[in-house]
Amino acid sequence: MLEQWYNGTVTRIVDETYNTRRFWIQIPDMDLFDFKPGQFVTLDLPIHENKHKRWRSYSIASHPNGSNEIELVIVLLEGGAGTTYLFNEIKEGSSLLLRGPLGKFVLPEVLDKDLFLVCTGTGIAPFRSMAKYIHLHNIPHKNIYLIYGSRYIKDLLYPGEMGELQAAHPGFYYLPTLSREDSTDWTGRKGYVHTIYEEMLEGGNKPANFFLCGWKNMINEARQRILDLGYDRKDIHLELYD
């Protein structure tokens, strides 16, 4: 079955950091854009004659809220044709061709194990959707650990919002770590994401599901380290960003 494409209208654009933007897109042909937290949409951008070289996929950063509007958070990639077009050509009121929701990177039906949500960069998008959905719908769960790696303070996405969610939601832990920050303004964790989950799981494995989202190198390393801790491949779920 061929997926249907829809015309979306960009209703709002906000700079989240120096090189990332939040895009709100409304799909007028739908009363409700129904998706599961963790899914993505594919945009067809007018950047190439070959359709497969025009398609760019982005995780939905917003949670299902009963509307026909979604939010994407996108980083400007140096030399990237897709993001250069989105940043230079797309304004509020612009149209975008999209299809979705797509993907199976979604929460288990029953959250009866600890959740380790491990991400880098804009890989936080699907986990923001998941965490807010769980919170707003009071879904029973074990501990949820959002382990988020960036290079510098200026790279962090949604830090205030994630801190507020941690304060309001028992059992949700926001654990950002910075790999290159040397400012005294940062009093949080330093280093890479792997150290955090390895330290937490030291001394015996408890039942857990691992969701990994971000750059390929981080995911490949995390997958191997988690397997080395004694977990099974079925405990590990991936969403790879090229």
Return the CATH number of the domain spanning residue range 114-241: 3.40.50.80
Residues of the chain with CATH 3.40.50.80: 114-241
Place of tokens 């998706």: 35
pLDDT in tens, the chain (242 residues): 457 999 999 999 999 999 999 999 999 999 999 999 999 999 999 999 998 899 999 999 999 999 999 999 999 999 999 999 999 999 999 999 999 999 999 999 999 999 999 999 999 999 999 999 999 999 999 999 999 999 999 999 999 999 999 999 999 999 999 999 999 999 999 999 999 999 999 876 789 999 999 989 999 999 999 999 999 999 999 988 76
Residues of the chain with CATH 2.40.30.10: 5-102
Q: How far apart are CA 137 and CA 133, in angstroms?
A: 6
Is the CB of residue 53 less than 8 Å from the CB of residue 4? no
Q: What token pair was written down for 242?
A: 């090229």
What 84-88 contacts at long range (C-beta under 8 Å, 24+ apart), as own/partner pairs, is 85/45, 85/46, 85/47, 86/21, 86/23, 86/43, 86/45, 87/21
Residue 42 assigned ligand-binding role? no
pTM: 0.95
Residue 120 assigned ligand-binding role? no
Return the CATH number of the domain spanning residue range 5-102: 2.40.30.10
Q: How far apart are CA 128 and CA 241, in angstroms?
A: 16
Closest CA to 124 of 202, 190, 218, 52: 218
